[in-house]
C-alpha cells in the first residue's frame, strides 16, 4: 500500500479524489498492472518506434467487423495489389455474405466466419494470415488486437484503439513482446491538408510550432439515437462516459506535427466538459412514444462540449475538443501556430505569415511546394476510390506498402495508446473539477531519441493500385 501511495504522489494522481472509498473510478485504476509501469522508470522490452518487420510480398488479410466501417475497408483493400483478402468475419452471417458478394469480379474469394461472438478467434487462428483488420465496436478492439498479435499477426485497429488506460498498456506490452505492429487506423493523418501542414512543419515553414488544436465536432445526435444505426445501441452507450470520447481524429495529425513520442512527449492534461443540454432530453423525448428508450431516459450523458488541454515536456500546448451533439458544422479544427506562421483547416483552409491571410495564388504556390510525395503518387486515385475524400484509401495503401517493403509504420503502438488514453484521463479530470493529471509515457523514455515521422516513399511506393 505504501508503494501505491508513493506512486500516486510521484505521478500527480494523489489528491484528486479518484481512489478513495466510494470513487467510481477507483476500482478501474486498482485493476491496472503494477504501478512501476506508469513511472519514468519503465523500461521497454523492445522499441516498436521505427521498427521494420520483415517484408511480406503478398499481405494476407482477415477483416473482422462488417457493419459501418468494415465494408468500405474491404472494398479499398481489394483495390491494392499485393493484398489477398482471405477471410471475413462478422457476428451476423448476412453481413459477412454481403461483404463477400461485394468482391465478385475481383481475385479475392474469402472464407467467412460468423454466427458466434468468438467466431473471429477461429479466423485469427488461421496460419495463412499476416494482418487482422479490426472494424468492430470499441470494446472489442483490444481483445482482438492482442489476440491477433499473440497469434503472430499484425493488427490494424479502428479508432479509438483502446477505451481504458489498462487496455492501452495491454497493446503496448503485447506489441513489444511479439514484435508485431499494432497500428491505429487514424485516417485523418492522411487528409491532404493535414499531410501538407506536416511537410510544412518538417521544412520549417511555421518556425518553432508552439501551439496546435484538433477536434471532433460533428452533429451525431440523430445517429446516436438511431435504433438501426449501431447494434445494441453500443455507440449511444459510450456517451454515458463524460470526457473526450473520440480524440484521435483531431489529435493524431497535430501530434505528428509536434513530434510527440518522437522528440517531445505529453506531460499533463486538464479537461472540462459543459453540462449535457441535449442527449438526456432527447432520450426522454423519444421515451414518451417509444418504450425502447425508457432505460436511456434515466441515464446521465457526457456534456455537449469537452475541451482538453495538454502541456508537453518541451512547453508546447495542445487543445482538443469533442462535441457530437450541438447543431453546428463539422470541424476537426486542425490549427498549427508557430513562431513564423499559422495554418487552419476549418471553416476554410488558410495559411498566414502574419496578420493577414495568404492570397489564392500564394496558396497555390504553397500546395505546389509542400504537397507530399504520397499525395502526388496516389492522391488522385485515392479520390476516385473514396473513403472520406480519399484519406481512407491512402491510409490503407500506405499500411500495405510499408508491410510489403519492410518499412516502419507511420503510426505505431505508442501512438495508438497515447492518443487513445486521452479518453480515460479526460474523464478523470472532468470528474475532479478539471484538476490536472499526468499523461503516461508509453515509450519508456525512448521519445527522447525516437526519430520524427517522415511520411516519404523512400524504400517503398512500389505497391500498385487496381482501378
Give the pLDDT confidence of 370-425 residue by residue, as tens digits.
999 999 999 999 999 988 999 999 999 999 999 999 999 999 999 999 999 999 99
What number of residues does the chain have? 467
Q: How confident is the model at residue 38 (pLDDT cuts 50, 70, 90)?
A: low
Percent of the chain scored above 70 by pLDDT?
A: 91
Q: At what angle do helices 165-178 and 141-150 cross, to 10 degrees?
A: 20
> Rounded to the nearest 5 degrees, what angle is found at the Cα of 133, between the Cα atoms of 409 and 148?
90
- Hey, what's the cell of 157? 485497429
pLDDT of residue 42: 73
- Distance, in Å, from the CA atom of 96 to the CA atom of 90, rounded to the nearest integer, reads 6
- Distance, in Å, from the CA atom of 260 to the CA atom of 257, rounded to the nearest integer, reads 8
Transcribe 93-108 into DSSP letters. Answer: HHHHHHHHHTTTTSS-
Torsion over CA: 78, 82, 88, 89 (sign)? negative
- Distance, in Å, from the CA atom of 252 to the CA atom of 82, rounded to the nearest integer, reads 27
pLDDT of residue 466: 87
- Distance, in Å, from the CA atom of 30 to the CA atom of 34, rounded to the nearest integer, reads 9
Phi then psi for residue 155, to 5 deg, are -120, 130
Contact between 251 and 419 (Cβ < 8 Å): yes
Phi then psi for residue 181, to 5 deg, are -65, 145
Q: How confident is the model at residue 304 (pLDDT cuts 50, 70, 90)?
A: very high
Q: At what angle do helices 391-405 and 373-385 cross, to 10 degrees?
A: 120
**Placement of cell 523514455 in the chain:** 445
- Distance, in Å, from the CA atom of 105 to the CA atom of 245, rounded to the nearest integer, reads 40
**Placement of cell 495529425 in the chain:** 253
pLDDT of residue 28: 45
- Higher-pLDDT residue of 7, 225: 225
- Within 10 angstroms of residue 406's Cβ, the number of other Cβ atoms is 13
CB-based burial, 133-148: b 16+ in 10 Å, e otherwise: bbbbbbebbbbbbbbb
Residue 39 has pLDDT above 90, yes or no: no
pLDDT of residue 398: 98
> Rounded to the nearest 5 degrees, what angle is found at the Cα of 227, between the Cα atoms of 225 and 229?
85
pLDDT of residue 43: 84
Q: How confident is the model at residue 292 (pLDDT cuts 50, 70, 90)?
A: very high
> Cβ neighbours of residue 261 under 8 Å, at least 6 residues apart?
49, 255, 412, 414, 415, 418, 442, 443, 447, 450
pLDDT of residue 33: 34
**Placement of cell 447543431 in the chain:** 327
Beta bridge partners of 370: none
Give 204-221 pLDDT, tens digit per residue: 999 999 999 999 999 999
- Within 10 angstroms of residue 349's Cβ, the number of other Cβ atoms is 16
* Of residues 232, 37, 7, 255, the one with CA closest to residue 140: 232
- Hey, what's the cell of 114? 460468423
What is the residue-averaged pLDDT of the chain? 92
- Higher-pLDDT residue of 17, 344: 344
Give 91-125 pLDDT, tens digit per residue: 999 999 999 999 999 999 999 999 999 999 999 99
> Cβ neighbours of residue 61 under 8 Å, at least 6 residues apart?
77, 83, 84, 85, 86, 87, 129, 130, 131, 132, 133
Torsion over CA: 43, 10, 437, 139 (sign)? positive
* Of residues 227, 216, 242, 452, the one with CA closest to residue 323: 216
- Distance, in Å, from the CA atom of 9 to the CA atom of 1, rounded to the nearest integer, reads 13
Q: In the chain, how long is the greatest CA-to-CA distance?
A: 65
pLDDT of residue 11: 42
Q: What is the mean pLDDT of residues 167-176?
A: 97
- Hey, what's the cell of 421? 488514453
Q: Which domains does the chain have, with CATH numbers?
A: 189-371+413-448 (3.30.360.10)
Give 253-290 pLDDT, tens digit per residue: 999 999 999 999 999 999 999 999 999 999 999 999 99
- The pTM is what? 0.92
Residue 232 has pLDDT above 70, yes or no: yes
| Residue 117 exposure: Cα atoms within 13 Å on the Cβ side | 5
- Hey, what's the cell of 165? 488506460
- Distance, in Å, from the CA atom of 191 to the CA atom of 421, rounded to the nearest integer, reads 23
Q: What is the mean pLDDT of residues 348-352?
A: 98
Rg value, the chain, Cα: 22
- Hey, what's the cell of 295? 432505460
Q: Is 208 helix (H, G, I), strand (E, B) or coil?
A: coil
Q: Is 233 exposed, middle or buried (0-12, 13-18, 19+ CB in 10 A)?
A: middle
Instruction: Look at strands 335-338 and 209-217 and give their pairing.
Output: antiparallel
Amino acid at each position: 500500500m505504501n508503494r501505491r501511495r508513493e506512486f500516486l504522489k510521484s505521478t500527480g494522481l494523489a489528491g484528486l479524489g479518484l481512489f478513495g472509498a466510494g470513487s467510481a473510478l477507483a476500482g478501474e485504476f486498482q485493476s491496472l498492472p503494477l504501478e512501476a509501469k506508469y513511472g519514468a522508470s519503465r523500461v521497454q522490452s523492445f522499441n516498436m518506434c521505427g521498427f521494420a518487420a520483415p517484408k511480406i510480398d503478398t499481405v494476407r488479410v482477415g477483416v473482422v467487423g462488417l457493419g459501418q466501417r468494415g465494408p468500405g475497408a474491404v472494398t479499398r483493400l481489394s483495390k491494392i495489389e499485393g493484398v489477398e483478402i482471405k477471410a471475413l468475419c462478422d457476428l451476423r452471417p448476412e453481413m459477412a455474405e454481403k461483404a463477400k458478394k461485394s468482391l465478385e469480379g475481383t481475385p479475392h474469394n474469402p472464407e467467412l466466419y460468423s454466427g458466434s461472438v468468438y467466431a473471429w478467434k477461429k479466423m485469427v487462428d488461421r496460419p495463412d494470415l499476416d494482418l487482422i483488420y479490426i472494424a468492430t465496436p470499441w470494446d472489442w478492439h483490444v481483445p482482438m488486437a492482442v489476440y491477433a498479435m499473440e497469434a503472430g499477426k499484425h493488427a490494424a485497429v479502428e479508432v479509438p484503439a483502446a477505451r481504458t488506460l489498462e487496455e492501452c498498456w495491454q497493446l503496448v506490452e503485447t506489441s513489444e513482446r511479439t514484435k508485431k505492429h499494432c497500428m491505429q487506423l487514424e485516417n485523418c493523418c492522411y487528409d491532404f491538408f493535414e499531410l501538407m501542414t506536416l511537410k510544412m512543419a518538417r521544412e520549417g515553414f511555421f518556425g518553432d510550432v508552439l501551439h496546435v488544436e484538433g477536434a471532433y465536432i460533428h452533429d451525431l445526435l440523430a445517429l446516436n439515437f438511431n435504433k438501426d444505426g449501431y447494434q445494441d445501441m453500443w455507440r449511444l452507450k459510450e456517451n454515458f462516459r463524460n470526457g473526450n470520447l473520440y480524440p484521435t481524429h483531431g489529435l493524431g495529425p497535430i501530434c505528428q506535427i509536434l513530434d510527440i513520442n518522437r522528440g517531445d512527449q505529453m506531460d499533463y492534461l486538464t479537461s472540462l466538459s459543459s453540462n449535457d443540454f441535449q442527449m438526456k432530453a432527447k432520450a426522454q423525448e423519444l421515451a414518451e412514444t417509444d418504450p425502447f428508450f425508457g432505460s436511456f431516459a434515466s441515464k446521465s450523458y457526457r456534456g455537449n462540449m469537452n475541451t482538453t488541454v495538454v502541456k508537453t515536456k518541451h512547453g508546447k500546448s495542445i487543445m482538443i475538443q469533442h462535441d457530437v451533439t450541438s447543431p453546428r458544422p463539422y470541424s476537426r479544427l486542425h490549427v498549427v501556430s508557430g513562431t513564423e506562421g499559422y495554418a487552419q483547416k476549418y471553416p476554410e483552409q488558410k495559411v498566414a505569415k502574419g496578420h493577414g491571410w495568404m492570397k489564392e495564388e500564394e496558396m497555390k504556390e504553397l500546395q505546389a511546394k509542400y504537397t507530399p510525395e504520397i499525395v502526388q503518387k496516389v492522391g488522385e486515385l485515392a479520390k476516385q476510390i473514396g473513403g472520406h475524400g480519399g484519406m481512407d484509401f491512402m491510409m490503407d495503401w500506405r499500411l500495405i506498402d510499408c508491410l510489403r517493403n519492410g518499412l516502419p509504420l507511420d503510426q505505431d503502438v505508442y501512438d495508438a495508446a497515447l492518443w487513445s488514453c486521452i479518453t480515460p484521463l479526460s474523464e478523470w479530470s472532468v470528474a475532479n473539477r478539471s484538476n490536472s493529471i499526468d499523461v503516461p509515457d508509453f515509450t519508456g523514455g525512448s521519445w527522447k531519441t525516437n526519430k520524427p515521422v517522415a511520411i516519404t516513399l523512400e524504400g517503398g511506393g512500389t505497391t500498385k493500385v487496381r482501378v
